[in-house]
Chain A
Amino acid sequence: MIKRWRQILDRRYQQWITRRLPPIKKIRLDNRKLFIFPTRAGVVFLGLLVLLWLMATNFENNVVFAFTFLLAALFIIAVFHTFLNLSGLHIEGARASPGFAGQTAEFEYLLSQTGQRQRYSIEFSHPGVEPTVVSLTGGEVTSIYLAIPVNRRGWCQARRIRVHSVYPLGLLKVWTYLQFNSSALVYPQAIDTALPAQGAAGLGDKAPPENYMANNSGSEDFVGLEKYRLGESLRHIAWKQFAREQGLLTKHYADAIDDELWLDWELLPGLDSEARLSRLCAWTLGFSENQQPYGLRLPGVELAPGTGRAHRDAVLRELALFEQPKVAAGPV
């Protein structure tokens, strides 16, 4: 019963927080966004004050009164110091580095301030996770990285983060929840299977002969222009000819093509699409590591073979966003 009530309360609280603190790109913390309350240690401290006050009253000792009031004044002063440890801090949701489903994606946040205030022990965390503790000692920009576990491929919206500080005396806590609108790309989970044999991955009869004979992958000898077919990379469209109203043509290049690899959706029949993507993902990583050129063919998508990091990322991106919204909710 209590548990249910607690759940309801918690949900209400989360809704309220969301309403109050909508997703943002960057933010300057101020009194409208910060909450402040005594910590448990602060409540114990107040108990200590009551004890001292009782002692001062009963012994009718004005010096004890004075020191009791000094500690009470310290508590009040601490409210300002605690609050100002966070107030005025700028937080910007920056890049988010992609991750594989089942692992974590890392979100970067930039911390900065206009002044030279020394800020100590600010805790950043996703609720329920061990916090990252940062101290700012000047006007420099500091990055923090918060990882969240990701399960589904596609775009992953940043989670609400908790910014929390009890500096300087630990008597009061000041905190806020922030929802940034940055997103991380989540690649499919890489399910390791043996790499397909050289050529086997893409040399099957399903590959159209033209593509097999001549590809449009790169920098080799220019062969000629051919009519554009759906699925071909836009990068190779001959825009000059198009401008001269000669129709949509693509530039084709000759290549040493015998050992060309294609990671093809159609090669994995009988598996569901997530399983296929997972295997393709694992293969991508494998070939990329071996520095072998490889291409990607998904229904409606075709990336010509290539090597290098940029190529790998492009392939993984296609795998991640296959049949998913292509545009993230916010900056990547």
Chain B
Amino acid sequence: MRPLWQIPRDGLFWLLISVLISIALHFDHLPPWVALAGIVAALWQIQLYRERWRQPGRLLKWSLAGACGAGLLLHYGRMTGLEPMVALLFSGYILKLLEIHHRRDALVLLYLSYLIIILQSLFSTTIGASLLVLMALLPVTAALVAMHGSTDNSRPATALRTALSMTLQAMPLMLVMFIVMPRIGSLWAVPQQNSATTGVSDSMSPGDMTQLGRSGAVAFRVEFDGPIPAQHKLYWRGLVFSSFDGRRWEQQASKAYQDGQFLQWPNQPLAAWDKMIVRRGQALSYRVTLEATHSPWLFALSTPVSRSSSVALSRDFRLVNNEPVVSKLQYPVTSWLEHQLEPSSLPDWRHNIELALPAGYNPKTRAIAKQWREETPDIAALIDRLLGLFNREFIYTLRPPALGKHTVDEFLWGTKKGFCEFYASSFVFFMRAAGVPARVVVGYQGGERHPSENYLLVHQYDAHAWAEVWIEGQGWLRVDPTAAVAPQRIEISFADLFAEREGFLSASPFSLEHLRDIDWLNKLRLKLDAMDYAWSKWVLGYENIQNDFLLGLLGGITPQRIALLLLFAGGIALLPVFIMLYLSREKSTRDQLDRLFLQYCTRLEDIGLARKPGEGPRDFAERIYQRAPSLTVPVDTLTQLYESARYSEIKVGDVQRFKVALKAFKPSRKALLSSSC
């Protein structure tokens, strides 16, 4: 069967390139056989074009479609969620490749290519991935151009050039729309992809955090309104663990808190427990840009107040987002580093929560704790005594020996080797056993100051666990037992401390972090991170600053002003296009004509007939008739053509004709009348 419509050669070329690029972009979240099917379909289409193979029959096509559907169902086990949907779209896209009978079919494929390529941005929004998507859109546009403007001998490069120049012209306009167009927020809930990313998890058992120590990925970045506080003050609280089952620390169920709602939203009346927070001293304002964690909890310095309507303050004084953070999230926070939490007294139910210990675990620690409390009734002194023990006898290591059932007993009185969570866990257990309310806090500690940009870079390896102890009259106090073992851990960056040791960053073998010691590479790494931060601030989190930005620009946000700005800025963005398209083309002809006329004059000058300054072409021609009558005919023709090309409104190819006539115009000195010399 002959196809009804033959796709232009360059159109097919760019179409297939688009398909292959789409496959490449989605390769890591497609079943491999879908990608393979795509490549086979592309080859088939090439063979169809060369008339080597025949169209697949209807039966084959339907069975392929059925096989694809069944295969996807088998692979994913469900058809909801982003990845299965993309895979389904993909298989339809690939099957469509086998039946390009009309221009319409090719257009459907190209539109799907646009869609599928842009869908990639739902999976990754880094600068690199976005640039790749931008480049991947070019062949699709080139295919559209080739599909509509192909001549018999047009080359693929021509279409690509047109596509490139149109895309470049569209960029300023895109920028204007990006800045101005309002974002209205999610209209309905959408399936989010659940990919496992490293980060602090919602429970803590021995060894969990070693994973984080091996990752050099960025956890979040913080931009302070003022100077960045000292390193030892930067405790980014994320989760509070008050419940221990002998091995695992977990959050207390929120309904266990009996005084009002657990979450305090900014636009709601203050909860009863809010007055238990005493904020003193200077407020510290900053903006956190958190990488996707797929969890709702946020990180902030104690004690925080959220300035974002989607972020709540919880009963245990940390920030919680209204939904899991599935893509970069920016939130503004104000913190009071000087503060007291629940200083007056704890009711019985609070005591019960913060003193609870599982029966049957760590008997030795319980006994010793009781004994120490009797010997040292002052809580501060008791803490110092335990920290002193840590300082003298314990070793900080990222590769601690494994622990059995009685984790705290074995650690405190046996192995004595471990890292933050071992210390925090055993410290809190000890304190509770001694009758002092205590809890574990996990989050991040410290961060890397960017040398040129004023922001702090917090990596996954900065993950940390510490303790909070409640003392009557003072409230919750932060105690970091790790600091007693390895004070440098708190005073300098974690990375500097561990750079030489094994285990650190072993999960990120290609991380630039490994090359911190090479100065220029380190600078490059920080430069790249500054770019990445600017990207996340100005692009990924633009809706957070859009309001302020437009307010500063317009002095008030009304629909009229937005429309005016859109028109005005859009006009400016289109100006280069106007200039390029309208002016350049008129100029080129004018120039060409002038150049040709100059050639004409030069040739006459060569035989001694120079045009006088200011002499019009017609006067010049009259003078030539006098001097060289034999040139009358060609000179007259050329002059007429020049005049009509130059002055008449409709110039039917006169420039071209002038050019042709000029080619034949070769005056010689013989033409001159000897008498007039």
Contact = CB atoms under 8 A, between A and B. Distances in A.
Interface string A47-70: 010011011011111111111111
Contact of B542 (A41, A62, A76, A121): A62
Interface string B568-591: 000000100110011001101100
Contacts of A70: 134, 137, 167, 170-171, 174
A331 to B, nearest CB: 14
Interface residues of A, number: 57
Contacts of A55: 119, 122
Contacts, number: 176
B122 A26 contact: no
A137 B656 CA distance: 13
Interface in B527-562: 539-543
A77 interface: yes
Given A110-B652, A115-B585, A140-B656, A170 B539 contact: no
B651 interface: yes
A65 B538 CA distance: 13
A68 to B, nearest CB: 7
Interface string A61-85: 1111111111111101110110010
Most chain B CB within a 10 A radius of its CB, from A74, A76, A84, A90: A74
A141 B652 contact: yes
A7 interface: no
Interface stretch (B62-70, B175-183, B259-267, B505-513): B175-183
Contact of A63 (B111, B185, B539, B578): B539
Given A70-B167, A139-B656, A51 B115 contact: yes
A284 interface: no
B148 A90 contact: no
Interface in B485-537: none
Contacts of B431: none
A120 interface: yes
A112 interface: yes
A135 interface: yes
Interface stretch (A98-106, A161-169, A242-250, A290-298): A161-169
Contacts of B145: 167-169
Interface in B116-154: 118-119, 121-122, 125, 130, 133-134, 137, 141, 144-145, 147-151
Interface residues of B, number: 63
A64 B120 CA distance: 9
Contacts of A313: none
B166 interface: yes
B386 to A, nearest CB: 47
Contact of B170 (A74, A139, A166): A74
Interface string B200-228: 00000000000000000000000000000
A70 B133 CA distance: 12
A62 B169 CA distance: 21
Contacts of B173: 69, 72-73, 76-77
Contact of A58 (B114, B150, B190, B582): B190
Contacts of A166: 148
Given A115-B586, A115-B588, A117-B585, A135 B149 contact: yes
Most chain B CB within a 10 A radius of its CB, from A60, A73, A74, A110: A73
Interface string A136-148: 0111110000000
A28 interface: yes
Contact of A114 (B141, B150, B586): B586
Given A67-B121, A167-B149, A73 B115 contact: no
Contacts of A170: 107, 144, 147-148
A286 interface: no
A44 interface: yes
Contacts of A62: 125, 178, 183, 539-543
A228 interface: no
A324 interface: no
A116 interface: yes
A61 B328 CA distance: 9
A120 B653 CA distance: 18
Contacts of B167: 70, 74
Nearest to A70: B174
A330 interface: no
A44 B541 CA distance: 30
B183 A67 contact: no
A81 B165 CA distance: 11
B380 interface: no
B650 interface: yes
Contacts of A274: none
A65 B166 contact: no
A67 B137 contact: yes
A135 B153 CA distance: 11
A61 B649 CA distance: 53
A45 interface: yes
B33 to A, nearest CB: 26
Contacts of A131: none
Most chain A CB within a 10 A radius of its CB, from B125, B166, B181, B540: B166
Contact of B151 (A58, A81, A120): A120
Given A114-B655, A121-B150, A52 B543 contact: no
A317 to B, nearest CB: 28
A70 B656 CA distance: 39
Contacts of A90: 650-652
Nearest to A170: B148
Given A28-B649, A90-B652, A69 B174 contact: yes
Nearest to A137: B151
A39 to B, nearest CB: 10
Given A64-B121, A169-B144, A48 B114 contact: yes
A57 B185 contact: yes
B178 A66 contact: yes
A288 B656 CA distance: 40
B181 A71 contact: no
Contacts of A80: 574, 577-578, 581
A78 B141 CA distance: 11
A44 B111 contact: yes
B308 interface: no
A302 interface: no
Contact of B650 (A26, A117, A141): A26
Contacts of B148: 120-121, 166-170
Nearest to B593: A114
B653 A58 contact: no
Contact of A73 (B111, B114, B119, B170): B170
Interface in A141-189: 141, 166-170
A48 B111 contact: yes
A88 interface: yes
B327 A61 contact: yes
A232 interface: no
B162 interface: yes
A255 interface: no
A108 interface: no
Interface in B69-119: 104, 107, 111, 114-115, 118-119
Nearest to A48: B111
A13 B181 CA distance: 39
Contacts of A78: 166
Contact of B178 (A69, A114, A167): A69
Given A121-B148, A139-B589, 4 more contacts: A44-B111, A76-B170, A112-B651, A114-B651
16 contacts: A48-B115, A58-B187, A60-B186, A62-B541, A62-B542, A65-B178, A65-B181, A65-B183, A69-B178, A81-B581, A112-B653, A114-B589, A120-B150, A139-B589, A167-B149, A170-B148
Chain A to chain B: the 6 pairs with minimum beta-carbon distance, closest first? A120-B149, A73-B170, A73-B173, A115-B585, A69-B177, A112-B653
Interface of B: 104, 107, 111, 114-115, 118-119, 121-122, 125, 130, 133-134, 137, 141, 144-145, 147-151, 162, 166-167, 169-171, 173-174, 177-178, 181, 183-188, 190, 327, 539-543, 574, 577-578, 581-582, 585-586, 588-589, 592, 649-653, 655-656
